[in-house]
Structure 1
Amino acid sequence: MKTFSLPYGKEHCTLTVPDERLAGVLLSRAHEYKAPKSEDELVADALANPIGSPKLSELAKGKKRCVIISSDHTRPVPSHVIMPQLLRELRTGNPDIDISILVATGMHRPTTQEELVAKYGEAIATKEKFIMHVSRNDEDMVSIGTLPSGGECLINRAAVEADLLIAEGFIEPHFFAGFSGGRKSILPGIASKVTVLANHCAEFINSPYARTGNLENNPIHRDMLYAAKAAKLAFICNVVIDADKKVIAAFAGDREKAHEAGTAFEMKLAGVAPVPADIVVSTNGGYPLDQNIYQTVKGMTAAEASCKEGGVIVMVSACEDGHGGEDFYRILKDSTNLQDTMNTILARKRNETVFDQWESQILLRILLKHDVIMVTKAPQQMIEDMHMHYTDNIEDAMAMADAILAKRGVTDGSITVIPDGVSVIVK
């Protein structure tokens, strides 16, 4: 028997798999990678040796207003490590510079004060100036051009009015943008809903290039690069983290060159070959990434890439915040025929995208091929409304999976385990 400890919210649950049924384990090498220095030292070294850029302290000289774009509560960016060093670098170069931290909520809800304290620490959360991005506030947005896709590029006014725009973030596999980090701080991070909807259109989400770990010919990535350039994003500090959300590498400097170095490092650690199985067990890496069903679709795509046609995905994700998007939930709940709903989405043109349809589109793609069993703290009715199976424990989930497969003539189905579905690139 093989035993796995799977992240589940702020806790773990235990999965036991018979040796004869275990097909494989897909695990990012980031979880075993031993960083050569401490978290603080890694970030300090990156800032001291920026890639393709002067040091941040040099960039700060002569500037009046700096805006630091920072990821929100749904991302495990170790801002308590990164932000103090960014602030120190900026003020070393220019003690009088006016600094604001712009929280890149994308299309998510605003971050609470309690979450700010948890993310940055009490001192920064209470003493620094914060601006909360709200993508639906049209009055806060300014046009900076037209995306390659044809959509208008509207971003938060605070970023446009800054004379030095920088960003912190982290690099992980992303299920349609290829990787997080870098240019994603702008789009969707601080972009208007109008711009996000154009970029996340059905055509682009359906592209075979809009997949985990791929940037080449990725139409979503192309739009994002344009937005970052048009916004004049001058400097980034992105990190790679392990399963414990600890920094294991840091990359700072030019928005594209530093990000490229970081994605190359991440690919070496995260790339894994699929091990096809009848049942694939995956997670969303625990808190904060598994706060809702919306985010959980990311971990499902790793399972999708290794699940046999007609197989079962068991998704371990706490989802204590519920669905994470009312429009996302409604698209699934109101669907009486999943294929018809998918066809409706695919028929929409770029300027006809509706809220959360991209997340719905990807979940529909999975549900049309696989049964999904959610091990979760979300309400049972919500899970079932979204055409998934509900349970609150892993043992019942595995029994349910076996029962589903038995009806299809499969007994003692093979099992692949992905302990952290958002940390791997299954190719």
Structure 2
Amino acid sequence: MSVPTIGGPGYHISVEEFEGFVADEIGKVQLEGKNLVLIIPDDTRGCPMPRILRAVYKAVINRAANVKAVIALGTHEYMEPDEIALWTAGSRDADLAAEYPGMPIVNHLWKDHDALVNVGHISAQRISELSGGRLEKGTDVLINREVVEADVKIIVGPILPHEVVGISGGNKYFIPGCAAHELIDMTHWVGALITSAEMIGTPGITPVRAMINEGAALVPGEKYCLAFVVEAYSDEIEAASFGSPEDAWAEQAKVTAQTHIEYVAEPFPNVIAEIPLRYHDIWTAAKGFYKAEPAVADGGEVIIYAPHIDTVAEAHPEIYQIGYHSRDYYVKQWDKFSDVPWGVLAHSTHGRGAGSYDAETGIETNRLKLTFATAIPKEVCDSINVGYRDPATIPALMEDPNFHVIRDAGEVLFRLESERPSQ
């Protein structure tokens, strides 16, 4: 189904064009007398959020009875007030009550069970069907209370290649964005079983997307989505669509597949992934690995270069106990690891990449070498099964022709030309 859309691959939407599009399309939604929640990303998503949120705010604030913005954290760490101000208004010192009067901006409180509402149940049989037989376990669907109780929900977020679901955005802002960790863990583990290298950048309804859509369908009320694609390495908005979360996402997924996947003729021998400041720990900075892995030669090294990062995971300390390993390391020792949160297991396998594990010998073989050049000490790196390099040595290494440097790593996906889908 076609949806209202502006721009396209390579186009730069002006402020005036974008505001006009948002005003026109959101203007068609009946908001009078209704409670509205805007669902927005956290600051790990690269986009000009102040520009975008101001346009949406202007289109809704004098029409809805109440307006609130909920930051779809998933299980990322809660954002601090100054971080929210910087993300949504462009300055840590911004007074959000003055910038967005009448619209509080709050974190999704995923750690607080009282802040969640059960909207329904997905049976084990249905999970098996949706996941292609990879998982057979039922689950309740717990969603942010403020989101559930709003009459109208409008997702406002970018579309990008994603290691768990294929292409991010759309209903992913409900699950995992505004969900409880149990369902998040299940979807992430299914993605891990498929593997990041196979899943990332896959268009269409992947098994994980199917699970997400099933859960999101249980969320009551009217649901809309302002989906958009931001040009790589810039703040320029290339394209935007407005409609149902499914349709707006599908339209913009076509754009990101053209603009955020770079196909290379030959694999990179090694990669230095230079991590931008918006990634605060390895939990999020590992995107630098995910999006390089498919294009690195067997035996190559991927260096996560992030001198500003001193923490592996702010919200998930279990990763310090299990470290980083391939999928089969866990699958072949399931009795040992099944009680670890599955989202942590999924992050571990996504962050380590392809490999094998021999249960008889206890030997794990990884396709690539993973190295942290961060403020995380060597002894910690050793304990979590990753290599260590002094970040001070990396600028010189960037001159080595055997290393391909990816600046602002984490958004553009690199794949081999031989993997390009046939037209």
Distance in 1 (CA, whole Å) between partners of 2:169 and 2:332 is: 31
Deviation at 1:332, TM superposition (A): 0.6
Q: How many Å apart are 1:384 and its aligned residue?
A: 2.9
Cα distance, 1:183 vs structure 2? 1.1
Aligned pair 1:141/2:116, yes or no?
yes
Task: Give the corresponding residue for 1:87.
Answer: 57
Deviation at 1:65, TM superposition (A): 0.8
- 1:424 paired residue number: 413
Secondary structure of the residue aligned to 1:273 is strand
Looking at structure 2, the residues matched to 177 and 101 of structure 1 have their Cα atoms a distance apart, in angstroms, of 24
Matched, 1:197 2:173: no
CA shift in 2, pair 1:260/1:125, >3 Å: farther
Partner of residue 323 from structure 2, selected from 311, 327, 332: 332
> 2:301 is matched with which residue?
312
Mapped partners of 2:33, 2:109: distance in 1: 26
How far apart are the structure 1 equivalents of 2:320 and 2:396?
A: 25
Residue 291 of structure 1: aligned partner: 280
1:175 aligns with 2:163: yes
Name which of structure 1's ranges 142-151 and 295-304 shifts more when overlaid on structure 2: 142-151
TM-score normalised over the length of structure 1: 0.77
Q: CA deviation at 1:353?
A: 4.5
- The question of 1:206 aligning with 2:193 is answered yes
Contact 1:173 1:425 in 2 (8 A): no
Q: 1:72 matched to which residue of 2? A: 42
Alignment partners' CA distance in 2, 1:115 and 1:376: 22
Alpha carbons of structure 1 residues 156 and 373: separation in structure 2 relative to 1, 3 Å: same
Report deviation, 1:271. 2.5
1:175-226 C-alpha deviation (Å, 9 max, x unpaired): 121122211110111001122122222x442126961111445211111122
1:120 aligned residue (64, 72, 88): 88
The residue identity in structure 2 corresponding to 1:102 is: V
Deviation of residue 66 (structure 1)? Answer: 0.7
Partner of 2:273: 282
The match for 2:229 among 228, 237, 240 is 240
Specify which of 129, 141, 146 is matched with residue 104 of structure 2: 129
Q: Secondary structure at the match of 1:256?
A: helix
- Tell me the number of residue pairs that the alignment of Structure 1 and Structure 2 aligns: 371
Deviation at 1:370, TM superposition (A): 1.6
Q: Write out per-residue CA displacement over residues 18-46 of structure 1, whole angstroms, 9 at most, x where no aligned residue.
A: xxxxxxxxxxxxxxx753432x2343244
Task: Quote the sequence identity (%).
Answer: 19
TM-score of the superposition, structure 2-length normalised?
A: 0.77
Equivalent position of 1:390 in the other structure: 388
How far, CA to CA, are the matches of 1:208 and 1:217 in structure 2?
A: 16
Equivalent of residue 59 in structure 1, options 19, 25, 29: 29
CA contact (8 A) 1:77 1:170 kept: yes
Quick one: higher RCO (CA 8 Å, sep 6+), 1 or 2? 1
Residues 204 and 250 in structure 2, CA contact (< 8 A), matched pair in contact too = no
Does the 8 Å CA contact 1:314/1:397 hold for their aligned counterparts?
A: no
Separation in 1, partners of 2:385, 2:238:
38
Question: Partner letter of residue 308 of structure 1?
Answer: A
- Counterpart-to-counterpart distance in 1, 2:164 and 2:33: 36
Q: Tell me the equivalent position of 2:71.
A: 103
Aligned to 2:250: 260
